[in-house]
């Protein structure tokens, strides 16, 4: 079996569902169930014996050691993190705790477990650490896209904490020989995305008749990757990646934020027109910019294609249509995650 951490979050849960849709290999899912973790996403696995869920912290070394000893996974895939840049600006401490200290404890537990393995089990063991393109900092308009050798220049408490975790992972390979792989990915989107991030927030706000808050001038550029493509990239790196190597994962879809918001509005105009006949784009509102807002990210994912034959299956046009349709068909999931503490966050961030 494999151990997945953070498997109740957006990408982790998509990965869990995708994994169990492709293979019968069991999966142990360790997730703390913070505000971002949602066990509802995994309801379809309730009676699936291949999925074992444990609520717990990657920073709880004793728990992780016990789980490793009991279940003897052949691989660990680490998604667990605090992941929202705006929240890291309001309160960085959880980011330091989970992304740095938590990753450190996880690495220590995995190192001890791996040291006790023998023969093929030891040789085949892998730990894959999921990271972000934000560790590379911000690009100018005409700069070439980030490659795996781009220098680290993180600008937010979130990206700095992810950068620190990447360095720890790298050091555990270099110093102890721990068989690690790291992936640095661009902005994901797709089903089960918590509506604090740009794409799901815009869909949910548009349908609720609320303003669509675009930070600054809306010309910040991100590369967008459909989450299922990210899942297939991780499976491929886990299967065939070179130990100690880093792989950039991207969708080859660089777009300014305002274009993303207009694309969502156009799809909603087509699929769920407003009753007054106006376009959802009339709800767009420019708001105060994010402090230290990175201007542009762009990922060069050619190493992954060249060495491991991976490329994304979705274009932005196909992926965003699937995403908008998913939100239109999954009201109950949205209602469930947008109650209670979610409302407090929206109030704090946007008023
Ligand atoms: P998310 O915030 O949706 O989910 C994070 C999950 O981790 C949640 O289920 C949460 O409960 C869990 N978690 C948090 N702290 C934990 C802890 N201490 N112990 C155990 N579980 C804990 O995040 P996501 O968007 O799914 O991102 C997953 C990973 O991918 C993160 O490492 C993130 O940095 C990285 N990443 C995300 C994106 C993106 O666009 N979302 C892009 C590149 C990289
Ligand atoms: O690049 C990968 C990163 O992508 C991941 O490492 C992070 O975990 C993930 O959250 C994401 O970070 P971003 O900051 O790019 O994502 P977010 O959806 O928060 O914002 C995307 C862009 O949209 C960013 O330029 C800020 C802008 N934005 C966001 C929100 C929530 C707005 O203009 N208005 C908004 O209300």
Pairing of strands 51-55, 27-31: parallel
Residue nearest to atom 11 of ligand 2 (CA): 187
Residue 158 annotated as catalytic? yes
CATH of the domain at 107: 3.40.50.720
pLDDT tens by residue, 200-236: 999 999 999 999 999 999 999 999 999 999 999 999 9
Can you give the pLDDT at residue 205? 98
pLDDT tens by residue, 104-116: 999 999 999 999 9
Residue nearest to atom 4 of ligand 2 (CA): 187
Share of the chain above pLDDT 70, in %: 100
pLDDT-derived band at 351 (thresholds 50, 70, 90) equals confident
Query: What is the domain extent for residue 248?
Result: 2-189+225-253+292-314
Residue of 136, 158, 226, 280 marked active site: 158
| C-beta of 166 in contact with ligand 2 (< 6 A) | no
| C-beta of 190 in contact with ligand 1 (< 6 A) | no
d(CA 282, CA 209): 10
| C-beta of 15 in contact with ligand 1 (< 6 A) | no
pLDDT tens by residue, 121-146: 999 999 999 999 999 999 999 999 99
Residue 239 annotated as catalytic? no
- Does 208 map to a domain? no
Ligand 2 geometric centre to CA of 198 (Å):
6
d(CA 195, CA 204): 7
- Give every CB contact of residue 175 below 8 A, 6+ residues apart in sequence: none
* From 3, 5, 6, mutation site for ligand 1 pocket: most ligand atoms within 8 A of C-beta: 6
Atom of ligand 2 nearest to the CA of 83: 8
Can you give the pLDDT at residue 1? 98
> CA end-to-end span of the chain, whole Å?
46
Picking from 303, 129, 323, 306, the residue whose alpha carbon sits closest to that of residue 226 is: 323
- Does 217 map to a domain? no
pLDDT at 340 over 80: no
- Does 269 map to a domain? no
Can you give the pLDDT at residue 179? 98
Atom of ligand 2 nearest to the CA of 214: 33
Ligand 1 geometric centre to CA of 83 (Å):
5
- Does 70 map to a domain? yes
| C-beta of 200 in contact with ligand 1 (< 6 A) | no
d(CA 248, CA 313): 16
Copy the structure tokens of residue 149. 């050798």
Ligand 2 geometric centre to CA of 51 (Å):
30
Is residue 99 left, alpha or beta, with left meaning phi > 0 and alpha meaning psi from -120 to 50? alpha
pLDDT-derived band at 4 (thresholds 50, 70, 90) equals very high
Atom of ligand 2 nearest to the CA of 260: 23
Do residues 128 and 183 touch, judged by C-beta distance below 8 A? yes
* From 63, 79, 253, mutation site for ligand 1 pocket: most ligand atoms within 8 A of C-beta: 79
pLDDT tens by residue, 62-75: 999 999 999 999 99
- Does 139 map to a domain? yes
| CB half-sphere exposure, 171, CA atoms < 13 A | 10
Residue 245 annotated as catalytic? no
pLDDT tens by residue, 247-296: 999 999 999 999 999 999 999 999 999 999 999 999 999 999 999 999 99
Residue nearest to atom 41 of ligand 1 (CA): 188
CA dihedral 225, 231, 234, 235 (to 10 degrees): -150
Atom of ligand 2 nearest to the CA of 188: 4
pLDDT at 344 over 90: no
Residue nearest to atom 16 of ligand 2 (CA): 197
Residue nearest to atom 10 of ligand 1 (CA): 37
- Does 320 map to a domain? no
- Does 128 map to a domain? yes
- Does 279 map to a domain? no
Can you give the pLDDT at residue 291? 98
pLDDT tens by residue, 287-323: 999 999 999 999 999 999 999 999 999 999 999 999 9
Picking from 202, 197, 216, the residue whose alpha carbon sits closest to that of residue 288 is: 216
Which ligand has the shortest distance to the CA of 99?
1
Residue of 57, 134, 229, 300 marked active site: 134
DSSP letters spanning 7-76: TTSHHHHHHHHHHHHH----EEEEE---TT--GGGGGGGTT-TTEEEEE--TT-HHHHHHHHHHH--SEE
pLDDT-derived band at 347 (thresholds 50, 70, 90) equals confident
CB atoms within 10 A of CB 280: 24
The pTM of the whole model exceeds 0.85:
yes
Which spans in the chain are helix H? 10-22, 61-71, 85-90, 93-95, 103-115, 119-124, 157-176, 198-207, 227-240, 257-271, 302-308, 316-329, 331-337, 341-350
Domain count, the chain: 1
| C-beta of 250 in contact with ligand 2 (< 6 A) | no
| C-beta of 254 in contact with ligand 2 (< 6 A) | no
Ligand 1 geometric centre to CA of 172 (Å):
21
Can you give the pLDDT at residue 229? 98
CA distances, 45 to each of 220, 283, 325, 330 (Å): 38, 38, 23, 17
């Amino acid at each position: 079996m494999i151990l997945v951490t953070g498997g109740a979050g957006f990408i982790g849960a998509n990965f869990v569902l995708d994994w169990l849709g492709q293979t019968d290999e069991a999966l142990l899912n360790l997730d703390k169930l913070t505000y971002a973790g949602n066990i509802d996403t995994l309801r379809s696995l309730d009676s699936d014996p291949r999925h074992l869920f444990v609520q717990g912290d990657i920073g709880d070394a004793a728990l992780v050691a016990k789980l490793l000893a009991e279940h003897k996974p052949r691989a660990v895939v680490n998604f667990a993190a605090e992941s929202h840049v705006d929240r890291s600006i309001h309160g960085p401490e959880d980011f330091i705790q989970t992304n740095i200290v938590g990753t450190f404890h996880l690495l220590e537990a995995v190192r001890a477990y791996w040291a006790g393995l023998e023969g093929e089990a030891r040789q085949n063991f892998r730990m894959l650490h999921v990271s972000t393109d934000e560790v590379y900092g911000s690009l100018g308009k005409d700069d070439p896209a980030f490659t795996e050798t781009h220098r680290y220049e993180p600008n937010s408490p979130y990206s700095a904490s992810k950068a620190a975790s990447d360095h720890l992972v790298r050091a555990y390979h270099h110093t102890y020989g721990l068989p690690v792989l790291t992936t640095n990915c661009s902005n994901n989107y797709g089903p089960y995305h918590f509506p604090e991030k740009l794409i799901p927030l815009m869909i949910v706000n548009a349908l609720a008749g609320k303003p669509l808050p675009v930070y600054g001038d809306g010309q910040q550029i991100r590369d967008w990757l459909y989450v299922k493509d990210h899942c297939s990239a991780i499976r491929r790196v886990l299967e065939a990646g070179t130990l100690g190597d880093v792989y950039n994962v991207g969708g080859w879809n660089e777009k300014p934020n305002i274009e993303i918001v207009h694309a969502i509005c156009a799809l909603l105009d087509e699929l769920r027109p407003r009753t007054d006949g106006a376009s959802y784009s009339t709800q767009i509102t420019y708001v105060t910019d994010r402090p230290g807002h990175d201007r542009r990210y762009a990922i060069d994912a050619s190493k992954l294609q060249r060495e491991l034959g991976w490329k994304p299956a979705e274009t932005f046009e196909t992926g965003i249509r699937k995403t908008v349709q998913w939100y239109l068909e999954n009201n109950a999931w949205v209602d469930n995650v947008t109650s209670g503490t979610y409302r407090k966050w929206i109030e704090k961030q946007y008023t």
